Amino acid sequence: MNFLITYLFLSIGVLMAQDEFNTNVSINSAVVIRSRSMSVDFWTPERMKAAKEPVVILPPNGKNTSRSFSISNNGPQATILGRTPAATSPLGRALNVRGRYVATTGRVFWSCSVNIMSYCSASVVASTSGDVIVTAGHCVYDTSTLQWLTNCNWIFVPAYYNGTAPYGKWPAREVAALTSWTQSSPNYNNDVGFVALSLLNGRHITELTGSQSVGFNYPRNQPTYSFGYPLNLDQGEILQVCTGIPGVSKYTTNGYAGQGLSNCYMTGGCSGGPWLQQFDESTGIGVTYSVNSFTYSLAPNTINGPVFDSNIQSLWNYITAR
Ligand SMILES: *[C@@H]1O[C@H](CO)[C@@H](O)[C@H](O)[C@H]1NC(C)=O
Ligand SMILES: *[C@@H]1O[C@H](CO)[C@@H](O)[C@H](O)[C@H]1NC(C)=O
Ligand SMILES: *[C@@H]1O[C@H](CO)[C@@H](O)[C@H](O)[C@H]1NC(C)=O
């Protein structure tokens, strides 16, 4: 039988059983070449609502090509603390009522071909620049065409709600993923991408929304809140959440070492949405330690996510001050 891996967004499912994974990890980054005004003007409310989650390609049968990929959560646990929004942020009051996660989570959009509009979820995390968001690797880099999606009218819309962008549409200026992701047989343990956003009206996004803490080599099997905009719930127009204690992923092919969060009914579109530990429901603040990555046909209603390890920490170290 075929084992189906479904990216939690659209367009691509991927051939999982391929060559040996490249475990020689380094950073691949790119300065975004699309002008910011083009990106922002492109995304009208109608286009944002039309962006969909979609085509899935079946991988070949579950051939085991695993060749001892070692889990590299090999460093000390590290936490970079998130920030409160600036005192001048017009959001201050709303955030006090609803919690910071409402503003730090949003949707990303891109369109690489005429009339094909796609989206994922993403969130603002701690950074030196105040400009950094995290999402899934497959929301920034297309491993079938070997292209950065961030060149395709790619924007982030924090607190996206039903076609509206209450805190603006933020174009990308630089993107980074690991080379173990930016190749035709990507390593799903590294399905993570960081993006540095442009300023909007002279402001860094973190001034407006605040940011969530980001954690590396965090413990597994901890109470987790997973946020995202899955197309199957409210047409992806409203932020959703799954909560629970994730366990070992049922997907073990090719050395996959991520976790699975079961009893979660979010599907495509929630990709890239953050997993937070130590989440405080009253403040809406937690530590981002993974992102929604894929579902697996043999473990229904379970979302898999890679635990941020030392390699992902290196990636964050690269992007934080860019
Ligand atoms: C890892 O990749 C870099 C850059 O491609 C190369 O210079 C280096 O020799 C590689 N290391 C190993 C152990 O393969
Ligand atoms: C796949 O192969 C690896 C290495 O040979 C082995 O350790 C692992 O148990 C195999 N996995 C399955 C599901 O057969
Ligand atoms: C979303 O917007 C549409 C109009 O575009 C409106 O009819 C609908 O009620 C809105 N839904 C929510 C949940 O706000």
CATH number of the domain bearing residue 261: 2.40.10.120
Q: Is the CB of 70 under 6 A from ligand 3?
A: no
Place of tokens 């405080």: 280
Its sign, for the CA torsion 196, 200, 205, 207, is positive
Q: Do residues 239 and 102 make contact, with C-beta atoms less than 8 angstroms apart? A: yes
Residue 10: its pLDDT value, please? Answer: 36
Report which bound ligand comes closest to the CA of 20. 2
Express as a percent the part of the chain with pLDDT over 90: 60
pLDDT by residue (tens digit) across 43-89?
A: 999 999 999 863 433 233 344 443 334 445 568 899 999 998 887 77
Give me the residues of the chain with pLDDT under 50, please: 1-2, 9-22, 54-71
Domain coverage including residue 237: 4-319
pTM of the entire structure?
0.85
163 Cβ below 6 A of ligand 3: yes
Q: Which atom of ligand 1 is nearest to the CA of 24?
A: 1
3-state secondary structure at position 275: strand
Question: What span, in angstroms and rounded, lies between the C-alpha atoms of 142 and 116?
Answer: 14
* Six-digit token string for 194: 């960081």
Q: CB neighbours (10 Å) of residue 125? A: 24
Q: How many domains does the chain have?
A: 1
Q: List the structure tokens of 158.
A: 């924090």
Pocket test for ligand 1, best of 24, 28, 182 (most atoms within 8 A of CB): 24
Helix, strand, or coil (residue 177)? strand
CA of 26 to the centre of ligand 1 (A): 9
CA of 161 to the centre of ligand 3 (A): 9
Measure 247 CA to ligand 3 centroid, in angstroms: 36
